[in-house]
Amino acid sequence: MTPLPPQPISPLDGRYFPVVHTVGEHLSEAGLNRARVRIEVEWLVFLTDHAMFATSPLSIDDRAALRAVVDDFGQAAIDELAGLEATTRHDVKAVEYFVRARLSELGLDAIAELTHFACTSEDVNNLAYALTIRDTVQDVWLPAARAVTDALRTRAVELRAVPMLAHTHGQPATPTTLGKELAVVVHRLERVLAQVEDTEYLGKFSGATGTFSAHLAADPEADWPALSRAFVESLGLVWNPLTTQIESHDWQAELYDRVRHANRILHNLATDVWTYISMGYFTQIPVAGATGSSTMPHKINPIRFENAEANLELSTAVFSTLSETLVTSRMQRDLTDSTTQRNIGVAFAHSLLALDNLRRGLGEIAVAEGRLAADLDGNWEVLAEAIQTVIRAEVTAGRSEIEDPYALLKELTRGRRVGREDLVAFVNGLDISDGAKARLAALTPATYTGLADELVGFLDS
């Protein structure tokens, strides 16, 4: 058998790449290296701006040329770094040599020894990861999550008054509206997305064990904590003053737990919509040319929601591992986080793929109002709650002497199907006021939805 040419192992880099490639812009090896180069370049600019070690601020042209190394980072740079790492066997050292080569090309050899000055690799790495994770969340994941939330919000408002039989424990229950049920999901998501949006992205820049030892040896007079803070904050990050060799990753664990929470809410949405499709509450809009089953031509399978469900489970599993393992590092440093963090993009990509499926799936379903109405009309016994509650109010107000209204309705309806005529006759025979009888006699499963319609309005509050 002829061997295949090199192939991607993960479907994220194969079948699903067109959907998730934007994650790779940031959370890939190339994206990480570009961010590392940015940290090294900005540290050079920062040190010279502060005239450290008898340097002078770079000219406008030199500063622009140095930053262009980051802006123009492309395949040539990726290939060069790969060659350097093959020799150094150290990714960050390769980045240092790459930057030194650029300084030489730009005629800036005089500041070459400030490249990676007083840095441990983790000083560069933690800031690079903070930038790439922040950009992935803000530029890629949050917009996709909001697109799904916005689509749900639109449907919730459109369907706010469409009555639907509820199912608690899988059994017919007090009716609701389809819009209100979608609004519940929107409300849940918006809370969690707000928490994700408020994430603090922390960074450290304090040397081999977080003590500024090399810094102080080089310049005992400098206020190194203040300089470190200013540098980290110049990158738009939050400074962490107390660390070991590594930034402790607590902010990452917090972020991944929040995204994982959003994943679980979306998973709940996917399984509910799948169930409603199977019950006939939603119909799927045929897509021209699409095949539902290889053998059963009539089928339109709910693949968008099934794919979303599976990818959310994968994403959640990886995020769970990330949040649980990254917060532990033996004494002042071990290397377990290095391999672990290289899978951050995997977690976000599976979530992004699920979001894409959900957004598209929500646009490919229609409400079967006739089916909803038929289900409501076939379950008049759900009005038992309303009847026994009205009786209780009548007894409390002194307008009835009925004992144990709950037991009375249980005897009538539990495990039995009753129709409109049965309930009207039952209500007319009750010892309650005429007003209460009229109110109950007028009630139908389709109108017994309480304030469901109005509750959708809380999305705007």
Alpha-carbon distance of 88 to 97, in angstroms, equals 9
φ and ψ at 79, to 5 degrees? -65, -40
Reported as type and span, the H/E element at residue 44 is helix 29-49
Residues linked to residue 164 through DSSP beta bridges, in sequence order: 176
Alpha carbon separation from 136 to 110, 142, 149, 258, 349 (Å, rounded): 36, 8, 18, 15, 10
- Site of tokens 């794919």: 307
| Catalytic position from the list 59, 169, 294, 461 | 169
Rounded Cα–Cα distance for residues 175 and 314 (Å) = 34
Q: Are 122 and 60 in contact (CB under 8 A)?
A: no
Concerning whether 278 is annotated as a catalytic residue, the answer is no
**Catalytic residue (one of 10, 104, 234, 293):** 293
Angular region, 22: left φ>0, alpha ψ -120 to 50, beta rest: alpha
CA–CA dist 429, 400 (Å, integer): 12
CB 373, CB 285: distance < 8 Å:
no
d(CA 264, CA 332): 34
Q: What is the DSSP string of 197-245?
A: HT---EE----TTSS-HHHHHH-TTS-HHHHHHHHHHHTT-EE--S-SS
Secondary structure percentages of the chain, helix, strand, coil, to 5: 65, 5, 30
Instruction: Evaluate whether 274 touches 309 at the Cβ level (below 8 Å).
Output: yes
Q: Element (H or E) spanning 187, and its range?
A: helix 178-197
Of 203, 193, 101, which is closest to residue 153 (Cα–Cα)? 193
CB-count burial class (<10 Å; 0-12, 13-18, 19+) for 104? exposed
User: Residue type for 198, please?
Assistant: D
Q: How far apart are CA 17 and CA 349, in angstroms?
A: 9
Contacts of 46 (CB under 8 A, 6+ apart): 227, 230, 231, 234
Catalogue the active-site residues. 169, 293
